[in-house]
Structure 1
Amino acid sequence: MILCTFDEIENYACLNPRFAIAAKWISSTNLQELEHGKTIIDGEEIFAIKETLHGRKADKANLEAHKKYIDVQICLKGKDSIKWKANSECDTILQSYSDENDIMFYADKSVQYIEVYADKAAIFFPEDAHAPLIADEELTKLVIKILVN
């Protein structure tokens, strides 16, 4: 997991070739003006989903993990507290992995919270179980999905 500012995001372009494309897109796009819904950046290899959702209580947020995609989580309105735990340390599967939706859920307690707001981005890899949308307010989120392989 990486927490960084938008100014720093291009520093992580070396992670994989697709991440370089995504970082450049983030740096060159007015994210506030982006339409809600799915935006294709590079086919199904890199895309963004913008949504406005009500936050939830921490006890209602289960850890999730992905195998195919890196998540870049950006909070455009509000402040998102996100639970985190290493995927390898999660023991209690709540919902088995769905290949179609690239997601699984754990009932484990998290070990750490991070806060994402303003010009920050949280980057979650398949090794990172995370539970976003923890807030007492409505959030506008952008999640950029980057194919790992």
Structure 2
Amino acid sequence: MSIFRYFQSAANTQIYSRMNLFGIITDTDYRLDAITLRIGRTVNNQRRSTMIYGRLENVAAEAATLPENILEGLKFLERTDLAALPEGKVEIDGDRMFALVQDYTTKPKDTVRPEAHKRYIDIQYVALGREQIGIAPLAKVSEIAEDLLEDKDVCFYSNAPEESMILLSTGGYTVFYPWDVHRPGCSADAESVVRKIVVKIAL
């Protein structure tokens, strides 16, 4: 299982130690730009980017390192009064990019099903609150609980082998690609009321 430990130096954040994140990684590149973690991996000789983890306040400093479509989604979050948005779908650019505004209370991890998408990338941004999100490699997950990919672009799984947990607090975001199984909305130390904005970006 992956273990990442960070420490804050006077000027920046560095990776203090690192271990193999997923069993299927054959070549891994870890970079820390500002406090955003990007992980690249090679699977079946094909280079893939996966899981971006950072804070909205650092987007301007990191803009040159971010994929164009991810930067566009983050800029939407920057310029929008997120507290004023109603729950539900918010249009950005038709089916190519839109946002889902969600208000909920976190739940124990074992009551939340892991999920993955096929047609859209997720930017999951916590505008208020605190939660844990699990992440696991899709290649390691085999037991499907409910397949709604055709109608709703989501597939739920019964478990998530080799899952690692990420802590997101107010101002934090993660980016999940279709090969990233994720388990959002999990309680950290205790239940938390969360406002999350999920920016959906078509592949």
Contact 1:90–1:108 (CA under 8 A) maintained in structure 2: yes
Q: Runs ≥4 in structure 1, deviation > 6 angstroms? A: none
Pick the aligned partner of 1:52 from 84, 95, 103: 103
Question: What corresponds to 1:11 in structure 2?
Answer: 63
**Paired residues, number:** 147
Mapped to 1, the partners of 2:88 and 2:201 lie a distance apart of: 16
Question: What corresponds to 1:105 in structure 2?
Answer: 156
Contact 1:62–1:106 (CA under 8 A) maintained in structure 2: yes
Mark the structure with the bigger radius of gyration: 2
Pick the aligned partner of 2:184 from 132, 145, 148: 132
Name the TM-score, length of structure 1 as normaliser. 0.88
**Which blocks of at least 5 consecutive residues in structure 2 are unaligned?**
1-50
Amino acid at match of 2:172: K
> What are the Cα deviations for residues 43-74 of structure 1, in whole angstroms up to 9, with x where unaligned?
11111111211211100111100010011111
Contact 2:130–2:193 (CA under 8 A) maintained in structure 1: no
Mapped to 2, the partners of 1:98 and 1:127 lie a distance apart of: 14
**Which blocks of at least 5 consecutive residues in structure 1 are unaligned?**
none
Higher relative contact order (CA 8 A, sep 6+): 1
Question: What corresponds to 1:115 in structure 2?
Answer: 167
Contact 2:91–2:97 (CA under 8 A) maintained in structure 1: yes
Question: What corresponds to 1:146 in structure 2?
Answer: 201
Question: What corresponds to 1:23 in structure 2?
Answer: 74
Amino acid at match of 2:87: H
% identical aligned pairs = 27
Name the TM-score, length of structure 2 as normaliser. 0.66
